[in-house]
Chain A
Amino acid sequence: MSQATGSHFLLETRGVSKDLGAFVVAARFSPDGRAVGFALGDGTVRIAHLGDLSDWRSTTVHDGAVLAFAPDAAGNGFVSGGDDGTLRRVATDGTVSEISRFGGKWVEHVATYTIDRTRGLIAASAGRLMRLLDQSGGVLKELTHPSTVTGLVFDAKGKRIGASHYNGASLWFVAAKTDTPRQLEWKGSHTAIVIHPEGDAVVTAMQENALHGWKLPDGQHMRMSGYPAKTTSLSFTRNGRWMASSGADAMVLWPFFGGGPMGKAPLELSGGDGIICNQVACHPKEELVAGGFADGLVVASDIASSRVLPVSPPRHGAISTLAWNADGTRLALGTETGFAAIVDFAKH
């Protein structure tokens, strides 16, 4: 982490930014870490190459909006789901190819898992249907859920996929011969999902401004509530000690150690000014979390010390996405009004 202190924003001295003119749905680093893809609400993806940040190439990927975006499972680009019902691959040179079609339904969620340099898994959902594909788009499984899938996530080993939906979540085994999911049940509308890095808990966000969780394997319930707004973003630290969440006027971090989160108060970072935190992203190596707020403010906060590093000023619209690269030296961010930036966190 940078040693910068004071009230200046890292973006001013160590960042590049552009106004892309459309809602930034997601920013993601390519698997080799050399490019950032910004997926936009106008159906284009802008690709910034870190070697030459002067040129952000625009490529049209969907007829409509991009709704879901992830690093490719193998190779070096991205996979993109759109409201045109297609799942497409975008290479870092801007080449677009089709992976799968879902008819008239929106492709709302995409998750990828890299097995090695040439093999990986892609999961994509449209309505109740989730397709599990190999890296070249071959269909491995078609899995149907009781209602529309609202979130998709692989566990850290790529063995299981979690899908959130009404009345809970389904955990599917990637390699299972018969597809019977582990049903994690809790009444209500679940709208996002994460799996603990060690695979021993699943957490969902709910319509009622609360989180629900299940310890695995016993399925013990966890309730985390008190949010003034809906949680849309959840992120575990690398070691799984903390889970950061959006939906309050601070980054809310629940302890997943020492018996937590049950009966423990969460840690609140960078709060106090009444602005709702929209996005959280835990650093891939350190106990550090980035948070993006509804006024455009982005900060990074050290969890142990609660020290806050200002990253991007409260301008440019509500933060809609945050992403770290794999070694945690860069943070990409985007806003609802089309502002996008890449900030350098490397020690110089």
Chain B
Amino acid sequence: MADTNVATEGAPGAEPGTQVPVTVLTGYLGAGKTTLLNRILTEQHGRKYAVVINEFGELGVDNDLVVDSDEEVFEMNNGCICCTVRGDLIRIVGGLMKRREKFDGIIIETTGLANPAPVAQTFFVDDTVKAKTRLDAIVTVVDAKHLPARLADSHEAADQIAFADVIVLNKTDLVTPEELAAVEATIRTINRFAVIHRTERAGVPIEQVLNRGAFDLQRILALHPDFLDGDDDHEHNEDVASVSFEVERPIDPEKFNAWIGVLLQDKGPDLLRTKGILNYANEDRRFAFQAVHMIADGDFIGPWREAEPRVSRLVFIGRNLNRPQLRRGFESCAVD
């Protein structure tokens, strides 16, 4: 939504702990998405998943509850050009909730060329979807051999990496160690914050993919001790990159809302994902903020731990990121 005021409580009607986790699987056709999906479904984990698929691809999907859906994207009527939503997912989540007790999670497989933004935005925009489900992680499967070519010929390949919480770097057996290191470095320039798993035939332990609570940003952010790298170069190109900032003084919620609201309005189309953990003044709980393009959401996620440094961290993944400007903006949100 164009309105980027940050909620101070959970989604309307949300009952903590009862929300069904949703995993989104993206990746180009042939990268190994369906192989990963079938591994998840056939592994003996004692859990049942509802699977939403959009293409009967190279391999069939072996599961009791498979929902065949057309990816139907529409633009919200809120004056926000990049606010697109998957209406089919809103309907499917509503339908699945009627049979709620029969599965433990939802896995959504997107088509190869899909832009992940509408899927992610659906989980921000629709109140029912927000109340009944939580986006657990976006998992992107990439083909180690063909990724460079994909990045060269499309925006979607970079977008899929940018949106990922977990990246399954597949078909590592088809490249040399040097090529693998190079492709991983390429992924890191786009998204420094995703967890990368190197695999052959999508062989990743299922617990590394499902129920990640990837929106527990603390965990992701904690993975990066090199958070402040002091590099203030103005990134000015069409390539997707990621930057992060840290502020030690507590944040004034009103200042932050005002700043981030204007920023997302102005730069929303370039800002693929924004996430952060904020140390609000006079507040013992951590505030988690996240946005997809212009659509933002936030919630308190439990108290700061003892001995944990109370610092605010913010990550941007997108195009044309003006690092000094973003840094100054974030720093100006600190209390006086």
Binding site for B on A (CB under 8 A): 22-23, 25, 41-43, 64-65, 67, 83, 104-106, 108, 127-128, 147-148, 150, 166-167, 187-189, 206-208, 229-230, 294
Q: A188-B77, A229-B127, A294-B13 are in contact. Are A148 and B95 (CB under 8 A)?
A: no
Q: Which chain B residue lies CB-closest to A188?
A: B77
In angstroms, Cα B125 to Cα A23, docked, is 24
Does B72 lie within 8 Å of A23, measured CB to CB? no
A residues less than 8 Å from B78 (CB atoms): 208
Q: How many residues of B contact A (CB 8 A)?
A: 27
Q: Which chain B residue lies CB-closest to A106?
A: B95
Across the interface, A41 reaches (CB within 8 A) one of B66, B76, B90, B98, namely B98
Does B87 lie within 8 Å of A189, measured CB to CB? yes
A-B residue pairs in contact (CB < 8 Å), sample of 6? A67-B98, A83-B95, A148-B72, A187-B75, A230-B127, A230-B128
List B66-80 residues whose CB lies under 8 Å from chain A: 66-68, 70, 72, 74-78
In angstroms, Cα B87 to Cα A108, docked, is 14
A23-B100, A83-B99 given; 20 more Cβ-contact pairs under 8 Å? A22-B99, A25-B98, A64-B65, A65-B95, A104-B68, A105-B68, A108-B91, A148-B87, A148-B91, A150-B91, A187-B75, A188-B76, A189-B87, A206-B77, A207-B77, A207-B126, A208-B76, A208-B78, A229-B12, A294-B13
Is B55 on the interface with A (CB-CB < 8 A)? no
Is B88 on the interface with A (CB-CB < 8 A)? yes
Q: Which 3 A-B pairs have the closest CB atoms?
A: A41-B98, A104-B68, A65-B99
Does A147 lie within 8 Å of B100, measured CB to CB? no
Binding site for A on B (CB under 8 A): 12-13, 65-68, 70, 72, 74-78, 85, 87-88, 90-91, 95, 97-100, 125-128
Q: Which chain B residue lies CB-closest to A166?
A: B74
Q: Which chain B residue lies CB-closest to A294?
A: B13
In angstroms, Cα B129 to Cα A229, docked, is 13
A-B pair count, CB < 8 Å, reads 71
Q: A127-B70, A189-B87, A230-B128 are in contact. Are A67 and B76 (CB under 8 A)?
A: no
B residues less than 8 Å from A65 (CB atoms): 95, 98-99
A residues less than 8 Å from B127 (CB atoms): 229-230
Q: A147-B72, A229-B127 are in contact. Are A41 and B99 (CB under 8 A)?
A: yes
Closest Cβ of chain B to A165, distance in Å, is 9
A residues less than 8 Å from B90 (CB atoms): 207
Closest Cβ of chain A to B205, distance in Å, is 31
Closest Cβ of chain B to A314, distance in Å, is 15
B residues less than 8 Å from A167 (CB atoms): 74
Q: Which chain B residue lies CB-closest to A104?
A: B68
Closest Cβ of chain B to A226, distance in Å, is 15
Closest Cβ of chain A to B160, distance in Å, is 24
Q: A148-B88, A294-B13 are in contact. Are A189 and B74 (CB under 8 A)?
A: yes
Q: A105-B68, A148-B70, A148-B87 are in contact. Are A64 and B77 (CB under 8 A)?
A: no
B residues less than 8 Å from A42 (CB atoms): 99
In angstroms, Cα B85 to Cα A208, docked, is 12
In angstroms, Cα B77 to Cα A188, docked, is 6
Across the interface, B87 reaches (CB within 8 A) one of A104, A105, A166, namely A166
Closest Cβ of chain B to A296, distance in Å, is 14
Q: A108-B91, A148-B91, A230-B128 are in contact. Are A166 and B72 (CB under 8 A)?
A: yes
Does A108 lie within 8 Å of B126, measured CB to CB? no
A residues less than 8 Å from B74 (CB atoms): 166-167, 188-189, 207
In angstroms, Cα B148 to Cα A187, docked, is 38
In angstroms, Cα B126 to Cα A341, docked, is 30
In angstroms, Cα B127 to Cα A214, docked, is 27
A residues less than 8 Å from B85 (CB atoms): 189, 207
In angstroms, Cα B69 to Cα A297, docked, is 35
Q: Which chain B residue lies CB-closest to A23?
A: B98
In angstroms, Cα B88 to Cα A230, docked, is 16
Closest Cβ of chain A to B133, distance in Å, is 15
A residues less than 8 Å from B68 (CB atoms): 104-105
Q: Which chain A residue lies CB-closest to B72?
A: A147
In angstroms, Cα B256 to Cα A234, docked, is 40
Closest Cβ of chain A to B7, distance in Å, is 14
Closest Cβ of chain B to A137, distance in Å, is 23
In angstroms, Cα B90 to Cα A286, docked, is 35
Q: Which chain A residue lies CB-closest to B98?
A: A41
Closest Cβ of chain A to B244, distance in Å, is 34
In angstroms, Cα B87 to Cα A188, docked, is 10
A residues less than 8 Å from B88 (CB atoms): 148
Q: Which chain B residue lies CB-closest to A64?
A: B99
Does B70 lie within 8 Å of A207, measured CB to CB? no
Q: A41-B99, A148-B91 are in contact. Are A208 and B77 (CB under 8 A)?
A: yes
In angstroms, Cα B75 to Cα A194, docked, is 23
Which of B87, B97, B98, B125 gathers most chain A CB within 10 Å?
Answer: B98
B residues less than 8 Å from A150 (CB atoms): 87, 91
Does B100 lie within 8 Å of A41, measured CB to CB? yes
In angstroms, Cα B65 to Cα A187, docked, is 33
Does A67 lie within 8 Å of B72, measured CB to CB? no
